[in-house]
Structure 1
Amino acid sequence: MTLGLAMEGLVLDRSVDGGEFVLDQPDLSVPAGASIALLGPSGCGKSTLLDVIALILRPTRLQRLALRGRDGRLVELGHTLRHGSSDQLASWRSGLVGYVMQTGGLLPFATVGENIALPRRILGLKGDAIVQSLARRLGIVDLLNRRPDRLSVGQRQRVAVARALSHQPPLVIADEPTASLDPAIGDVTMDLLLSACQELGSTLIVSTHDHDRARRFGLVPLEFSPANGCSRFQFQAGLT
């Protein structure tokens, strides 16, 4: 089995509201190209785990973190995440990860087209064809010259999806991408995100508290399964 993500020995602890939060994830393996739903209630550590995987948040302890590279081979990044510079992490993140934030996270001073193309510019990738293709697929091709403040919430999320995919990353992470959308638009956004990742062969991890939507879209559930007072996530069947 070709892996898109391999993690071992993750511990992250921090103070939260006068108490202690501990994320303890002994292991996590995700096949390349899989579509995963990270499930659990608000505050259980979903975003924390995603931020570690996305090389944003440094853990307290970590034995291993490996992500699939653009050449298909696993890149060992555990030491870099623990001890590397912010510039090193940003460089790896920009090449390997596409991130869809709950609020979109678009640059307000840039047009839709410029927002979508930003990850490609950072990597020095040329060509507008992928931007146009994603915009057409996501139904936002007529919005490319608009700025984010002239978009609806649903349109902003579709732009965020296009931006996360524009550099064709091996891993796409989406943190509650439909939480602020009405059910119909949420379903459309999830369908577009899932189908685009499948077309690119990208591994997808979506955090959500919506078990029904995850089931309807066939996402493999990685569920909150606390142990010894610590936050932990576990596949119920089929994956490790």
Structure 2
Amino acid sequence: MTTRAAPLLEIRDLAIHRGQWHIQLPELHLAKGELKAITGASGCGKSTLLELIGLVLKPEQLGCYRLGQQDIGQWLQADDQARLADTRAQQLGFVLQSGGLLPFLSVQQNIQLPRRMLGLPLHSDAVAQAVDCLGLKPLLHQQPSQLSIGERQRVAFVRAIAHEPALLLADEPTAALDPPQARRLLELMIELVQGLNMAALLVSHDWALVQDCGLSRLAAQTTAGGSCFVPC
């Protein structure tokens, strides 16, 4: 008889109010190599949910939050900001909708920044693989202002995984791209998340793209007072 491996990410009974809007996540499990989409109508709380999971916001209600062997929920309840900050820096990677690249750094310097800040060796085989897969080698010495939107988003993705985090969180990373670019970036994200054995959550308004790429998703079920995100 085989036993099921413990999930990399386990969350239960997560909730918060944003103004009069109540956002709930009853349950979430993510395994290594798994990428799941968060979908729903505009304004339903998708980005807020990502910020909760990313430890940017403190939940008002929480049953369980475990990342690997770490009991994050205990640190949230104790408001242990030092441990939460360390977790954000070391175990989480963020891809912002805007890309968020520093304009005064080159592409290579932007990608190396998370490793430099954590005192890691600047070279990483995983990062080199990602740069190669995403076709970024010719762009390494350029500034973000010299890149197209699609190129900036690819760089932002590599920077988010440069320190090889356990969990990647991406907020509408394909929103500014045309359909072929969006599909290509998402396919590469799936390939690299699986190859690097991390887990990922992706906020997306593009339900068709999510479906075409075969992703499971958390869909917002909305009422007059809020959203509840459930597997779909």
Return the TM-score normalized by structure 1: 0.88
Residue 189 of structure 2: aligned partner: 193
Q: Relative contact order (C-alpha < 8 Å, sep 6+): which is higher?
A: 2
- Residues 112, 122 of structure 2: 8 Å contact kept: no
Residue 230 of structure 1: aligned partner: 226
- Residues 4, 33 of structure 1: 8 Å contact kept: no
The alignment yields a C-alpha RMSD, in angstroms, of 1.7
SS in 2 for 1:26: strand
The yes-or-no answer on 1:25 pairing with 2:4 is: no
Q: Give the drift of 1:10.
A: 1.4
Q: Alpha-carbon deviations, 1:174-208, whole Å to 9, x = none?
A: 11110011111111111111111110011111111
Q: Give the drift of 1:114.
A: 1.0
Q: Which amino acid aligns with 1:198?
A: Q
Distance 2:139 2:14 in 1: 42
Distance 1:100 1:13 in 2: 24
Distance 1:127 1:31 in 2: 28
- Residues 220, 229 of structure 2: 8 Å contact kept: yes
Residue 109 of structure 1: aligned partner: 104
SS in 1 for 2:28: strand
Distance 1:214 1:9 in 2: 25
Q: Which moved more, 1:97-106 or 1:86-95?
A: 86-95
SS in 2 for 1:3: coil
Distance 2:7 2:222 in 1: 25
Distance 2:70 2:94 in 1: 18
Residue 171 of structure 1: aligned partner: 167
Return the TM-score normalized by structure 2: 0.91
Unaligned runs of 5+ in 1: 69-73
Q: Which moved more, 1:210-219 or 1:81-90?
A: 81-90
Residue 7 of structure 1: aligned partner: 11
SS in 2 for 1:232: strand
Matched ranges for 1:65-144 at <5 A: 65-68=65-68, 74-130=69-125, 131-144=127-140
SS in 1 for 2:193: helix
Aligned pairs, how many?
227
Distance 1:8 1:132 in 2: 36
Matched ranges for 1:198-209 at <5 A: 198-209=194-205
The yes-or-no answer on 1:162 pairing with 2:158 is: yes
Residue 146 of structure 2: aligned partner: 150
CA distance 1:148–1:85, change in 2 (3 Å): farther
Moved over 4 A (4+): none
Q: Which moved more, 1:195-204 or 1:29-38?
A: 29-38
Q: Give the drift of 1:27.
A: 2.3
Distance 2:143 2:176 in 1: 20
SS in 2 for 1:78: helix
Q: Give the drift of 1:86.
A: 4.2
- Residues 36, 206 of structure 1: 8 Å contact kept: yes
The yes-or-no answer on 1:218 pairing with 2:214 is: yes
